[in-house]
């Protein structure tokens, strides 16, 4: 029951933070959404900031599960799984708005220390998934920097694709072809 209540609070906070932003959301509003008292939220979280970082962790774990699901599809060639991985980040700002916002805030040096720590943790966990996939693929001699490079490149492309979609959305199919060739070069 305790874990379920905490998860309910986190899910309600996700909706509020996504819609109104962290700064414009109050714990009273989240409590009202759940029909509980604000004191109940304080029973699980020390502050709104503590709740926000729990929300980031929750979204981060969901995102990482999606990444794992992409790579367990062993019937699909490795290059295509990497293409799917890169493409999964095209719409990250819609699906995981808070992660995307934390990423941008960190780039702008406007983020909280906790956001920077979250981004570092997310990158490290993503790197471990990539390293595991490369090792399982039988390519034991890959450059040890490759997992980090692929994670950073995927996030950079996600930001770049946002700008590309704004300027010339019809070029997306051309980018997919270039990206697939790029991935093949990295993996060979």
Percent of the chain, pLDDT > 90?
50
Distances (CA, A) of 64 to 47, 123, 174: 26, 10, 27
Mark whether 182 and 128 lie in a shared domain. Answer: yes
pTM, to two decimals: 0.85
Site of tokens 């729990």: 54
User: Quick one: average pLDDT of 168-177?
Assistant: 59
Looking up residue 27, the CATH number of its domain turns out to be 1.10.10.60
**Do residues 161 and 80 both lie within one domain?**
yes
The predicted pLDDT at position 113 comes to 76
Domain that holds residue 53: 49-187
User: Do 130 and 148 lie in a common domain?
Assistant: yes
pLDDT at residue 153 in the model:
87
What value does the mean pLDDT take over residues 125-148?
87
> What is the structure's pLDDT at 174?
59
CA distance 135 to 13: 38
Same domain? 6 vs 86: no
pLDDT per position as a tens digit, 67-107 = 999 999 989 998 889 989 988 888 888 899 999 888 888 87
The confidence score (pLDDT) of residue 108 equals 74
Residue 139 has pLDDT above 80, yes or no: no
- Residue 56, both tokens: 């980031």
pLDDT at 163: 61
**Is 167 found in the same domain as 141?**
yes
Residue 2 confidence (pLDDT) above 70: yes
**Cβ density class 40-59: b for 16+ within 10 Å, e for less:** ebeebbeebeebbbbbbebb
User: Is 118 found in the same domain as 64?
Assistant: yes
| Amino acid 104: pLDDT | 82
What is the tally of structural domains in the chain?
A: 2
**Is-contact 30 11, C-beta < 8 A?**
no
Q: How confident is the model at residue 66 (pLDDT cuts 50, 70, 90)?
A: very high
Q: Write down the pLDDT at residue 119.
A: 92
Tens of pLDDT, residues 141-168: 778 888 998 999 888 877 776 666 556 6
Whether residues 92 and 68 share a domain: the answer is: yes
């Amino acid at each position: 029951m305790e874990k379920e209540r905490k998860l309910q609070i986190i899910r309600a906070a996700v909706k509020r933070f996504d819609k109104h932003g962290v700064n414009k959301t109050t714990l009273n509003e989240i409590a009202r959404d759940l029909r509980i008292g604000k004191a109940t939220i304080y029973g699980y979280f020390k502050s709104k900031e503590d709740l926000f970082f729990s929300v980031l962790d929750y979204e981060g774990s969901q995102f990482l599960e999606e990444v794992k699901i992409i790579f367990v599809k062993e019937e699909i060639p490795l290059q295509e799984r990497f293409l799917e991985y890169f493409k999964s980040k095209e719409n990250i700002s819609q699906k995981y708005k808070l992660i995307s916002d934390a990423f941008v805030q960190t780039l702008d040096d406007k983020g909280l220390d906790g956001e920077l720590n979250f981004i570092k943790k997310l990158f490290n966990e993503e790197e471990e998934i990539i390293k595991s996939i490369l090792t399982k693929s039988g390519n034991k001699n890959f450059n040890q920097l490759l997992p980090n490079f692929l994670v950073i490149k995927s996030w950079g492309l996600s930001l770049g694709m946002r700008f590309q979609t704004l300027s010339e959305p019809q070029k997306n199919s051309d980018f997919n072809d270039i990206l697939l060739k790029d991935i093949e070069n990295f993996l060979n």
